[in-house]
């Protein structure tokens, strides 16, 4: 079936290129990455070697002056999985459509439009909503959004289906509703998100699994050589209709361009999420991470990409310099602590210490269509977090990305 899909898709692309040459945009991206992974905190096991390949082909049709159809075919694979070199029938199991949607604008009035299908979402600095470009797969949603834009700003109203159970009355379905607005006059974005899970609670069918509302704001701006960004969010609602949600997050960064000619920047920031208080059984105070491009935050080793029940405080420093037009060097240092106490792995006493992470990234744009990255990261865990026998975790990667 996969092979048939690939043959049909290639035929459609070729036919479309000939028939609609003036109304079609065909491009793509290929990214190869190899990693040496020692994230198990055990130096005796050595480094695990894995390589990844992600290929995307983008096809956009301009059907009318205000209507377009977009499809993004994607193949995402880990080298050797499924095994390579064999005449196997399962070679194309990783192939599919990452995005596919219809978009129309200037409907009824200028600036009003709708998009429906499978699409990626990107808002603000991607701390709460992002396509996760680092991932070998990435994130996209099935749903629709209605948008309106004018000289003052833009507003998106969207509804996404996270899981379809196929039962009457949306039994067991999970939805993600939202409203996101950004101003063109002032550096401020506002958001309102509603997550629902219609799965009935096991011992009481009248109660539902989840109803959670997230709302907040994002702001960022350059003022001469100074830059700031800040995100604030609060969550309320209920789990099982019995446990109240009361969680919050804040992320803020200040950046200063010391030497504009060499793009020398120094930055400091904090990323803090609330944790669940074990003494309040009728409340859940742990911030749910929603849908961020998590790799951009909390260290490149990705130890804390998901929701942290004890909360997390990440204080970080960053330095970045571009010694030439085609090269960039960046160094990040993170200090991690939980927001709620946990029992130390050494003596059982209450503690919040987790560890520190250092990330070094080198970027080279030797060819205009390509970017090569090299990265090295080390995580230094506290003894309280992992005990006295844990070693530092090390991780290396080399990545080559090409657009065509």
The rounded percent of the chain whose pLDDT value lies above 70 is 91
Q: Which residue has the higher pLDDT, 91 or 390?
A: 390
Position 2 scores a pLDDT of: 57
Position 16 scores a pLDDT of: 58
Residue 15 banded pLDDT, cuts 50, 70, 90: low
**H-helix or E-strand spanning residue 17:** helix 2-19
Q: Is the peptide bond before 158 cis (omega within 30 degrees of 0)?
A: no
Position 10 scores a pLDDT of: 57
Position 64 scores a pLDDT of: 86
Question: Is the predicted pLDDT of residue 14 greater than 60, yes or no?
Answer: no
Position 26 scores a pLDDT of: 92
Task: Tell me which residue has tokens 């909360």.
Answer: 311
Position 39 scores a pLDDT of: 97
Position 13 scores a pLDDT of: 59
- Asked if residues 308 and 265 have their Cβ atoms less than 8 Å apart, the reply is no
**Tokens found for residue 203:** 């011992």
- Asked if residues 116 and 123 have their Cβ atoms less than 8 Å apart, the reply is no
Tens of pLDDT along 199-208?
A: 877 766 667 7
Task: Tell me which residue has tokens 């899970």.
Answer: 197
Task: Tell me which residue has tokens 């064999």.
Answer: 86
Tens of pLDDT along 366-376?
A: 788 899 999 99
Q: Which residue has the higher pLDDT, 228 or 3?
A: 228
What value does the mean pLDDT take over residues 323-343? 96
What value does the mean pLDDT take over residues 366-390? 94
User: Could you say which architecture CATH assigns to the domain 2-403?
Assistant: Beta Barrel (2.40)
Position 91 scores a pLDDT of: 54
The residues that bridge with 321 in the sheet, in sequence order, are: 329
Determine the distance from the C-alpha atom of residue 124 to the mean position of all C-alpha atoms in its chain, rounded to a whole number: 12
What is the DSSP code string of 42-105? Answer: -GGG--EEEEEEEEEEEEEEEEETTEEEEEEEEEEEETTBSPSSS--TTTTTTEEEEEEEEEE-
What value does the mean pLDDT take over residues 157-186? 90
What value does the mean pLDDT take over residues 147-155? 97
Tens of pLDDT along 187-196?
A: 999 999 999 9
CA distance 225 to 105: 37
Position 92 scores a pLDDT of: 56
Position 8 scores a pLDDT of: 62
Q: Are β-strands 67-78 and 95-104 bridged in parallel, bridged antiparallel, or unpaired?
A: antiparallel
**Tokens found for residue 169:** 């009355």
Position 23 scores a pLDDT of: 85
Determine the distance from the C-alpha atom of residue 19 to the mean position of all C-alpha atoms in its chain, rounded to a whole number: 37
Tens of pLDDT along 53-98?
A: 999 999 999 988 899 999 999 999 999 887 666 555 555 567 889 9
């Amino acid at each position: 079936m996969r092979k048939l899909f690939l043959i049909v898709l290639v035929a459609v692309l070729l036919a479309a290129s000939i028939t609609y040459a003036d109304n079609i945009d065909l491009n793509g991206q290929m990214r190869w990455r190899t990693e040496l992974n020692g994230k198990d905190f055990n130096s005796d096991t050595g480094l695990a070697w894995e390589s990844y390949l992600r290929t995307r082909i983008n096809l956009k049709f301009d059907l009318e002056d205000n209507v377009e159809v977009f499809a993004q075919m994607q193949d995402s694979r880990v080298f050797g999985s499924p095994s390579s070199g064999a005449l196997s029938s399962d070679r194309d199991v990783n192939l599919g459509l990452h995005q596919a949607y219809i978009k129309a604008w200037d409907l009824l009035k200028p600036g009003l439009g709708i998009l429906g299908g499978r699409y990626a979402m990107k808002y603000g600095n991607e701390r709460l909503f992002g396509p996760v470009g680092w991932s070998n797969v990435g994130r996209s949603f099935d749903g629709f959004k209605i948008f309106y834009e004018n000289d003052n700003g833009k507003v998106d109203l969207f509804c996404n289906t996270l899981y379809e159970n196929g039962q009457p009355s949306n039994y067991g379905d999970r939805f993600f509703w939202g409203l996101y607005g950004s101003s063109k006059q002032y550096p401020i974005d506002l958001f309102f998100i509603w997550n629902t899970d219609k799965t009935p609670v096991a011992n009481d069918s009248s109660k539902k699994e989840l109803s959670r509302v997230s709302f907040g704001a994002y702001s960022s701006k350059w003022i001469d050589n100074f830059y700031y960004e800040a995100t604030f969010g609060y969550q309320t609602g209920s789990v099982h209709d019995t446990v109240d949600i009361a969680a919050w997050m804040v992320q803020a960064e200040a950046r200063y361009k010391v030497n504009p000619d060499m793009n020398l920047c120094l930055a400091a920031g904090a990323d803090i999420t609330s944790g669940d208080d074990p003494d309040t059984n009728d409340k859940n105070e742990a911030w749910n991470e929603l849908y961020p491009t998590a790799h951009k935050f909390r260290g490149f080793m990705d130890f804390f990409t998901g929701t942290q029940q004890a909360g997390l405080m990440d204080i970080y420093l960053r330095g970045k310099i571009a010694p030439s037009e085609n090269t960039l060097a960046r160094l990040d240092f993170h200090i991690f602590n939980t927001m709620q106490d946990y029992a130390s792995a050494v003596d059982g006493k209450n503690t919040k210490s987790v560890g520190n992470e250092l990330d070094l990234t080198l970027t080279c744009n030797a060819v205009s269509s390509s970017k090569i990255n090299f990265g090295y990261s080390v995580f230094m865990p506290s003894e309280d977090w992992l005990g006295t026998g844990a070693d530092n975790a090390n991780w290396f990667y080399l990545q080559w990305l090409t657009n065509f």
